[in-house]
Structure 1
Amino acid sequence: MRMDTKRIGVLFLSMMAVTFAGQAMAAPAMKLYDAPWPVLSFRFTDATRHTLSLADFGGRVLLLNLWATWCIPCRKEMPSLDRLQARLGGPAFHVLALSQDKAGDDAVKRFFRNVGIHHLRRYVDSTGRSANVLGVFVIPTTLLIDWEGREIGRYVGAADWDSPAVIALIRRVVDAPYPTRDPGTENGLRYE
């Protein structure tokens, strides 16, 4: 019996969701990298169906969370991401919760309404391309992206994103001196 790649991927993600579902959420032990990594560009849409890329958030520190409405650990951590955005979100920092739902924004809108998410904006990549480009194999996965659009940390699994430890880490990154930009690049992003 031969299983295709898509079925194997769905089976793997389902097993991971069941594995993480019973675990209590804690503050993530996200350690910053010794050297930042470039982030390849990809496209996604917002709630108004406008196409965006990470370059549209230039000059901000981003907490990029790849998630889906059907992912139990993702569902558990989403309120803490909403509280983090309410507390720290602004011109210097943004929580970009990027849904991987194939059903698109309608599923995300329904989920946000049912769970009481008020501060996060809706972003969707129904193609799953962002996960491929970023090398994400399990959701939720969260990347910390610096002012220049470079990945400086990553955490796999659900977490309590508005914990004092996370807030201190993000404030440290946001309050770091603004880097000098290389005029030959746009926000440090490398385009395909």
Structure 2
Amino acid sequence: MRWTTNLPRIACAALLLAACGDAPGGAVRTGAEAPAYAAETLDGERASLALLRGRPVLLNVWATWCHPCRQEIPALEELHKTYGPRGLHVVGVSIDQGDQEQGIREFLQEYGASYPIWLDPDGEIATAYSTMGVPNTFLIGPDGTLLWKHVGPVTADNAELRELIEKSLPAAS
């Protein structure tokens, strides 16, 4: 087979790679303003990043069917318990589709997660934050600047993440 017969495939692959930038999450860049995002909480309340402005937010995109997401829940819970009292909002955004509220509640209880959960069955977060798969985690500063992004499970001992969280927290009084 000659290379010219593969030319359309090569061109398509090159276009896809170029569109992705530093994909996954290519369109969302650290140092830039984090995209606006709103959803409904597991308790049926309206929530948004705009309402959390003024405090740092660790935004984690996950699903109950995602095995790496299950592995990272203890780390997210540890970060929530350690930094939550000092001002960090840890928020999980579930992309489970359909009427899954009860299943999500059971999942969270089984895995010991106590941080707030927002529901996104339509996957709006994927569009807003250019995610490809789950889990994806974003640290947003108090001023709305995207400070850190991570594809894959988060670990509680990630030195870079902890340093950025510490720097984004309000000064102790």
- TM class, shorter-length: 0.7 to 0.9
Determine which structure has more spread, i.e. the larger CA radius of gyration.
2
Q: What is aligned with 1:114?
A: 110
Q: Give per-residue Cα distances to partners, 1:33-87, cap 9 Å, x unaligned.
A: 4xx2122223211122112211111111011110111001011101110111011
User: Equivalences for 1:32-181 in 2 at 5 Å?
Assistant: 33=30, 36-90=31-85, 92-103=87-98, 104-117=100-113, 119-160=114-155, 162-163=156-157, 165=159, 166-175=161-170
Could you say what secondary structure the match of 2:168 adopts?
helix
Distance verdict in 2 for CA 1:59–1:175, change over 3 Å: closer
Alignment coverage as a number of residue pairs: 141
Residues in 1 aligned to 2:150 and 2:71: alpha-carbon distance in whole angstroms? 15
Residues in 2 aligned to 1:67 and 1:59: alpha-carbon distance in whole angstroms? 24
Q: Higher helix fraction: Structure 1 or Structure 2? A: 2
The unaligned stretches of length 5 or more in structure 2 are 1-28
The question of whether the paired residues in 2 share the 8 Å contact of 1:39 and 1:150 is answered with yes
Q: Give per-residue Cα distances to partners, 1:88-147, cap 9 Å, x unaligned.
A: 113621111111111443222110111222x31222111100111111112111111011
Residues in 2 aligned to 1:167 and 1:40: alpha-carbon distance in whole angstroms? 22
Letter in 1 for 2:103: A
Could you say what secondary structure the match of 1:41 adopts?
coil
Could you say what secondary structure the match of 1:149 adopts?
coil
Distance verdict in 2 for CA 1:42–1:175, change over 3 Å: closer
Letter in 1 for 2:76: L
Residues in 2 aligned to 1:82 and 1:46: alpha-carbon distance in whole angstroms? 18
Distance verdict in 2 for CA 1:81–1:149, change over 3 Å: same
RMSD of aligned residue pairs (Cα, Å): 2.0
Distance verdict in 2 for CA 1:151–1:164, change over 3 Å: closer
User: Equivalences for 1:15-34 in 2 at 5 Å?
Assistant: 33=30
